Chains A and B, each alone.
Chain A
Amino acid sequence: MSPQTVGIIGFIVMVTMIFLRIPVAIALGLVGTVGYAALNGWTQAALVLGRVPFTFASAYDLSVVPLFVLMGSIARHSGMARELFQSINVMFSGRRGTLATATIGACAALGSVSGSSVAMVATMSHVAVPEMRRAKYDERLALGSVVAGGTLGILFPPSVMLIFYGLTAVQSIPKLFAAGFIPGLILAALQILVVKTAIWLYPDWAPVSPRAPWRVRLQASAGMWKLLCIFVLSIGGIYAGWFSPTEAAAIGTFSTIVIATLSGSMTFGKLVEATIESGRTAAMLFFILLGAIMFSYFIVQTQIASNLAAWVVSLHLPPTAVMVVVVFFYIVLGSFLESLTMILITVPVFAPLAQGLGYDLIWFGIILVGLIEVGMIHPPMGMNLFVLQSQVPDARLGKLYIGSAMFLVANAVLIVLLLAFPQIALWLPRHLY
């Protein structure tokens, strides 16, 4: 049996195991080990498996993951999300649909401290949904704005997904962070446009909020200083050359703790809770990474990625046509697979393909994260939909699906813009480096 055949069988078995509820980490690790043994013998496979955990002992850059997870967790536990939502709501008061706009604005701003989409939806569903329900917002708009806004967390720096993409595709994390910034702003603007269009078509979906005086609005804008400080310190520091992304994660987390404590919103109990929760999340993510490393060793041995890239190049298809097929592939895959799993199992195959076609892998990372966002709000299997359902158990499924489908237009436009104008993602990193 050729290595390619073993690879294809391994891939099918691994996906089947994942769909049959085998934990992703276990499926990746077991198939990776058995597949590696099938190609190189058991002794070699056992040797490689035994040394995989040591990857974490020699990967200083990986420390960025638990630290950024902790930063987001502290921001949530200290009530920064609620404060930010209320500030934006007051600042833009007097218009129709302010609460939905504030939800997206708060998600965009919170994205600068929390790199997790799931955590963002969980937080905002408690903060924004009750407020919008009280104000008699239509459920479609209320639920849709929360699930869609949540996706902004993985495009704005620091994004856990971009970090994992960077580690898997061996790309610069600061460049990826910079590349995600403008698409993140565009997506936020597009989502606000969806809100505005929806309430223009159906004015009864969102009432006009009472107008706050300018003095109150200015006071409310001061409520954003915490996040601004954290963002300027942690992300700004990377580009100012003060410290590396790993150090930025530590500085950002530390400053979040200090600011939350000084403003009286952080207790010792909450800090302990946030730290334990972050350690657990990091362990969960790294255990998947452990399985994925073993699986990627196996995939490298099969030479599937290089053969696929060579085959596609030999077809002499226009690169854009190939990329459109890749985009559709990811949209379908995103309907079934969890985002991190999608990155870890597909990047070893598709990144060499994209590179072979002459695409910049920084741009490809942003396209990939954009597609993951589609998968997260894509009915019926989007992860953000499940999270919102679990946090708001009385949310009507039909309304949730319509609400999220409405916002998919914004994501689709972003993908088209990125395909047509790669500079949207590449301008800032090229300008900064």
Chain B
Amino acid sequence: MKAVFASISRCATYASALFLVAMMMITVADVVLRAIFNLPITGTYDLVQLFLVGTVFLSIPDVFLRDRNIVIDFVDHVFGQRAIGLLKLIANVFAVAFLGLLIWRMVPPARDALNFHEVSPDLSIPMWVHWALMLIGIGLTLPAAVLMLIQSALDFSHPQVIPPQQADL
């Protein structure tokens, strides 16, 4: 189950990387064409905004699956492994609660964007496309957080020696 989901998440991460490259390329092309031929690309702003949404939201599931969220682990030096296991479990419960709440509340404005035909200023890109990317990102992150919650519950109920974590770069 986790392996299947990890593959889906990896695909989303590759898509995110493509959006990042596209964001760079469209801006470079716009600057070069503007400087040399006085021909800026119409709608660069719209496209960069769309690509930024894709870059950010499609990588969030991978951040959760790899446990790469920024955590202040000050208490690791104070509490024992069992207590830390419990804190990790509680943290994952909060993460699932927040993500569930977030995706639930994101649906109404996304629906409004679709129903009211909201579009971007220059290229008239339908804003539901942005919302769709955001919903896909958070929608994939929620099961990732649930998987991490199950994992932390299993770790807590069957404690084992955990190797030291690598630095989060």
Contacts and interface: CB of A to CB of B under 8 A. Distances in A.
Interface of A: 17-27, 29-30, 33, 46-47, 49-51, 53-54, 56-60, 62-63, 66-67, 70, 118-119, 122, 242-243, 246-247, 249-251, 253-254, 272, 275-284, 286-288, 336-338, 340-341, 381, 386-387, 390-391
Contact of A287 (B16, B35, B63): B63
A283 B134 contact: no
Contact of B69 (A20, A50, A287, A387): A287
Contacts of A390: 165-167
A280 B87 contact: no
Contacts of B124: none
Contacts of B138: 53
Interface centre among A46, A51, A284, A341 (most CB of B within 10 A): A284
A33 B102 CA distance: 10
Interface string B43-76: 0010011111101111110110010111111111
Interface centre among B88, B95, B106, B169 (most CB of A within 10 A): B169
B70 A284 contact: yes
Interface in B1-34: 13-14, 16-17, 19-21, 23-25, 27-28, 30-31
B28 A21 contact: no
Given A63-B49, A283-B16, A283-B60, 4 more contacts: A66-B56, A70-B20, A118-B167, A251-B27
Contact of B169 (A122, A249, A336): A122
Contacts of A288: 70
A168 B86 CA distance: 34
Contacts of A387: 167, 169
Given A46-B105, A54-B134, A275 B21 contact: yes
Nearest to A281: B169
A102 B48 CA distance: 38
A-B pairs, top 10 by smallest CB distance, nearest first, are A50-B105, A250-B27, A283-B59, A390-B167, A23-B69, A279-B16, A275-B17, A57-B130, A279-B59, A286-B56
Nearest to A289: B56
Nearest to B46: A60
A63 B48 contact: yes
Given A26-B91, A280-B68, A284-B69, A275 B20 contact: yes
Contacts of B17: 272, 275-276, 278-279
Given A29-B102, A54-B130, A283-B57, A70 B24 contact: yes
Given A60-B48, A250-B27, A284 B63 contact: yes
B90 A20 contact: yes
Nearest to B54: A279
Contacts of A60: 45, 48-49, 52
Contacts of B130: 54, 57
A100 B108 CA distance: 57
A341 B70 contact: yes
Contacts, number: 197
B94 A63 contact: no
A282 B49 contact: no
10 contacts: A18-B72, A33-B98, A53-B134, A60-B49, A70-B24, A254-B24, A283-B62, A288-B70, A336-B74, A340-B70
Nearest to A335: B74
A57 B49 CA distance: 5
Contacts of B53: 56-57
B72 A24 contact: yes
A40 to B, nearest CB: 14
B101 interface: yes
B91 A21 contact: yes
B90 A278 contact: no
B97 interface: yes
Contacts of B107: 50
Nearest to B66: A280
Contacts of A58: 49
Contacts of B58: 279, 283
Contacts of A337: 72
A43 to B, nearest CB: 11
Contacts of B66: 280
Contacts of B25: 250, 254
A122 B167 contact: yes
B110 to A, nearest CB: 8
B52 A280 contact: no
A20 to B, nearest CB: 6
B101 A33 contact: yes
A323 B70 CA distance: 29
B153 interface: no
Contact of A66 (B20, B50, B108, B134): B20
Interface in B79-137: 84, 87-88, 90-91, 94-95, 97-98, 101-102, 105-109, 127, 130-131, 134
B55 to A, nearest CB: 5
B149 to A, nearest CB: 12
A59 B56 CA distance: 12
B73 A21 contact: yes
B158 to A, nearest CB: 20
B23 A51 contact: no
A23 B71 contact: yes
B78 to A, nearest CB: 10
A287 to B, nearest CB: 6
